Amino acid sequence: MSVQLAEYFSNSSAAVARGSFDRIEKNRRASSSSSAELQKDKIVQIDESVTQNEDSSDDSEDFGEYSSIWSKIYYEYILVNKSLSKLTIRESFLYNDDLKPVEEKRRRWAWFNYLWFWLADCFNINTFQVAATGLQLGLNWWQTWITVWIGYSIVGILVSVSSRCGAMYHISFPVVARSSFGIYFSLWSVLNRVVMAVVWYSVQAWIAYTPVSLMLQSIFGTDLPSRIPDGISSPNATTYQFMCFFLFWLVSFPALLVPPHAIRHLFTVKACLVPFAAFGFLIWTLKKSHGNIALGDLTDIKVSGSAKNWAYMRAIMASLGNFATLTVNAPDFSRFAKTKHSSFTVQALAIPFLFSITSLIGILVTAAGYSMYRVNYWSPVDIMEQFLHDSYSSGTRAGVFLISFVFALSQLGTNISANSLSAGTDMTAMLPKFINIRRGSVICACLALCICPWNLMSSSSKFTTVLSAYAIFLSSIAGIAAADYYVVRRGYIKLTHLYSIKPGSFYMYGNRFGFNWRALLAYLGSMAFNFTGFIGEVADDVKVSKAAMRIYYLNYIVGYVSAFVLYTFLCWQFPVPGTPVRNILRDKGWFEKWAEVEHFPEEWREMMQKPDLYEDHNEDGLKY
């Protein structure tokens, strides 16, 4: 992973303080305004309370003597930042340094930085396993590789589409989601991303038990698993496997405590070592098989006709499901783009090329392993265990240990960059008073232990189901966000309104709940298309129609497209505020602009002094 990735996570929490909100609230209650005016005043005061002490430093806070031990614990150990102590949870999440647009001095990612980013990210065991999914479905090696190219080509386009808003307006996913879902309802999409990050952290940690096991067997012998008594009553995990999983989890834990900007060296080492280990593993396997690879299908499943066509589609969807989380939170790293061209084209081209090459390594290793052992290995790394059984020489042990060590390091880097830090960032956006990125990462790791990932990873079919679950939940969010930006708003975003709940804010959607009901209906409607087939896939005793299952096999595309279309239709029938065209289907025009945010804090504070934002509705030629 690119060293510059650390810049995204190196910002401290904002120094935002509330001032005399209690006095304002007391005066408001004493007034004789109507209930509607009271509600309006409350919203205005919340915004003003966030701005009143924006310029004050943390040192100005004087808490004096603590009234009790619990008070001391609260201020010293629970609060992330004392300057947020007087703000409610609702007030504190509106604006802080983690959420504000990225200024020019921190926008350092050129096109080659994104190239290095994906080069480092594509080498991991999970990519090998996704590639092998097609082999498990009855496709041969070259047919599987075709599905990989198609799948990751679609992924490249979708990631580029999702990243555009972040690159142009320099904002992260939690803020982008406010535009389409509403200021408060956006928390639902952020929560979805947090849950998926926790699940994926758990899955990646379980995948890592294999290289940990191989390192231990290289040292203590191949009979080590049998020497450890099995005390776990699970058909999908043994005590030895859980021990390896827990060792990886335990070693990973200190890395979560390191400040994000200081862990950049781990990503540098990963980017340098993993490609050599992957290609070395491929060369070693091909040498042992004397260059022979299984050219036909590797399973007893014989597919032809429509069954084969659907095997193609399921393999393609596995690639899309593998990127379900990164497609949604693409603005998190695109907001650091130097120019508007830095992130779009390079990602659309680099992702399919790099991940297809990496996948080919997994496919060829699996096919070569089958020619030697007549076993269709789902995880190509498992082949190294057979190498140890064939020859427990010092050379084999050293080779297996070194390659396994690098693969375990790869899993650690991937888990931190793609999951724990992402979960920590999103948790920070939800509860900035109590959670920073480091605390969020630790919470993510602890929750990962409770998921029992061995049940999700017991077979390739279960793994495909896990990927499909990601697709069902997250494809709808990505489709809604794309429709909102490209069709409904035509690239127009009013940045200051994304950070305010004042009356007239476009993204409060005309209600005090900051809730866009169109996004909710589109979200539920798109999920409904896949839900029946999903139930049929996960519940063995439930039978559903073949049509429902085939729709489910197209899960990501169905979820994305249906959410896109449904949201567009609802916004056409029931126009939303802040759109630069009167009719989103008939009127032409593109209103995207490169946002200049060097003076955004001052502009935001100036805007917060206004009683409402209705006068902004006449700016920039807006129709609503």
Q: How many Cα neighbours within 13 Å face the side chain of 179?
A: 27
Which pLDDT belongs to residue 466?
A: 67
Which 8-state DSSP code applies to residue 96? -
79 close to 433: Cβ distance less than 8 angstroms: yes
- pLDDT exceeds 90 at position 282: yes
Within 8 A by CB and 6+ apart from 229, the residues are 239
In terms of Cα–Cα distance, which of 68, 48, 131 is closest to 357?
Answer: 131
Cα-atom radius of gyration of the chain, to the nearest Å? 26
Looking at residue 459, its pLDDT comes to: 63
Q: What is the pLDDT of residue 79?
A: 83
Lowest mean pLDDT among 1-15, 386-400, 404-418, 529-543: 1-15
How much is the pLDDT for 11?
A: 39
pLDDT of residue 47: 52
Q: Is residue 111 within 8 Å of 341, Cβ to Cβ?
A: yes
Exposure string for 349-376, b = 16+ CB within 10 A, e = fewer: bbbbbbbbbbbbbbbbbbbbbbbbeeeb
Tokens of 598: 């060097």
Residue 331 has pLDDT above 80, yes or no: yes
**Token pair for residue 483?**
């429709």
User: Tokens in use for 131?
Assistant: 């590639």
pLDDT of residue 239: 94
- Please name the residues in contact with 16: beta carbons below 8 A apart, sequence gap of 6 or more: 50, 53, 54, 83, 84, 87, 92, 95, 96
* The amino acid at 512: R
Max mean pLDDT among 134-148, 278-292, 601-615 falls in 278-292
Share of the chain above pLDDT 90, in %: 46
Give 282's contacts (C-beta < 8 A, 6+ positions apart). 361, 364, 365
The pLDDT tens digits of the residues spanning 376-389 come to: 887 888 899 999 99
Q: Model's pTM, two decimal places?
A: 0.83
Alpha carbon 434 to chain centroid, angstroms: 22
Structure tokens at 372: 């030697």
Tens digit of pLDDT for each residue in 199-208?
889 989 999 9
Map tokens 């399973």 to a residue.
299
Of 23-37, 389-403, 416-430, the poorest mean pLDDT is in 23-37
Closest Cα partner for 385 from 403, 358, 360? Answer: 403
Position 526 confidence tier, pLDDT thresholds 50, 70, 90: very high
User: ∠ CA 181-441-216 to the nearest 5 degrees?
Assistant: 135
Mean pLDDT, residues 32-47: 47
State how far the Cα of 517 lies from the Cα of 456, in Å rounded to an integer.
33
Q: Find, among 14, 82, 15, 95, the residue nearest to 48 by Cα.
A: 95
pLDDT, residue 619, reads 65
Render pLDDT for 134-171 as a digit per residue (tens, 0 to 9): 888 888 888 999 999 999 999 999 999 999 999 999 99
pLDDT higher than 90, residue 405? yes
* Mean per-residue pLDDT, 428-451: 89
Number of residues written out for the chain: 624
Q: What is the predicted pLDDT for the residue at 248?
A: 97
Residue 337 DSSP SS3: strand
Q: How far apart are CA 188 and CA 430, in angstroms?
A: 10
Please report how the helices 305-322 and 555-573 are oriented relative to each other, as an axis angle in degrees rounded to 10.
Answer: 70
Lowest mean pLDDT among 4-18, 107-121, 330-344, 556-570: 4-18
* The pair of three-digit structure tokens given for residue 358, joined into one six-digit string: 């990496």
Across residues 606-616, what is the average pLDDT? Answer: 84
| H or E element at residue 572 | helix 555-573
* Residue 324 predicted with pLDDT over 50: yes
Angle, in degrees to the nearest 10, between helices 394-415 and 209-220: 150
pLDDT tens figures, 467-504: 667 778 899 999 999 999 999 999 999 999 999 998 99
Lowest mean pLDDT among 72-86, 368-382, 531-545: 72-86
Pair of tokens at residue 512: 């005090």
Alpha carbon 429 to its chain's center? 14
Contact (CB, 8 A) for 128 and 381: yes
Q: Report the distance separating Cα 123 and Cα 224, nearest Å.
A: 28
Give the Å distances, CA to CA, from 367 to 56, 151, 383, 411, 435: 64, 20, 11, 23, 46
Residues 65-124: tens digit of each pLDDT? 667 888 778 777 788 777 667 767 776 778 877 788 999 988 988 898 898 888 878 888
Cα separation, 494 vs 500, whole angstroms: 11
DSSP state of 493: -
Cβ–Cβ under 8 Å, residues 203 and 453: yes
Decide if 9 contacts 261 (C-beta within 8 A). Answer: yes
pLDDT above 90 (res 267): no
Residues 563-603 have pLDDT tens digits of 999 999 999 999 999 999 989 999 999 999 999 999 998 98
Count of other CB atoms within 10 angstroms of residue 528: 10
Cα–Cα distance, 512 to 516 (Å, whole number): 11
pLDDT value of position 49? 53
Helix, coil or strand: residue 478 = helix
State residue 21's pLDDT score: 36
Query: What's the confidence (pLDDT) of residue 35?
Result: 44
Residue 261: which pLDDT band, with cuts at 50, 70 and 90?
A: low
Q: How far apart are CA 251 and CA 411, in angstroms?
A: 12
If pLDDT is split at 50, 70 and 90, which confidence band does 260 have? low
**Which single residue is written with the structure tokens 């080590």?**
224
Q: Is the per-residue pLDDT at 216 higher than 70?
A: yes
- How many CB atoms within 10 Å of residue 102? 22
For residue 522, how many other CB atoms are within 10 A of its CB?
Answer: 28
Within 10 Å of residue 543's Cβ, how many Cβ atoms?
A: 8
What pLDDT shows up at residue 537? Answer: 79
Structure confidence at residue 29 (pLDDT): 43
If pLDDT is split at 50, 70 and 90, which confidence band does 34 have?
A: very low
Vertex 479 angle, CA 478 and 483, to 5°: 120
Start-end of CATH 1.10.4160.10 domains in the chain: 104-457
Any idea which fold 104-457 has? Hydantoin permease (1.10.4160)
Angle 437-449/186-207 helices, nearest 10 degrees? Answer: 60
Q: Please give the Cα distance from 246 to 223 (Å, whole number).
A: 20
Helices and strands (H, E) in the chain, number of each type: 28, 0
pLDDT at residue 22, rounded to an integer: 43
- Across all residues in the chain, what is the average pLDDT? 83
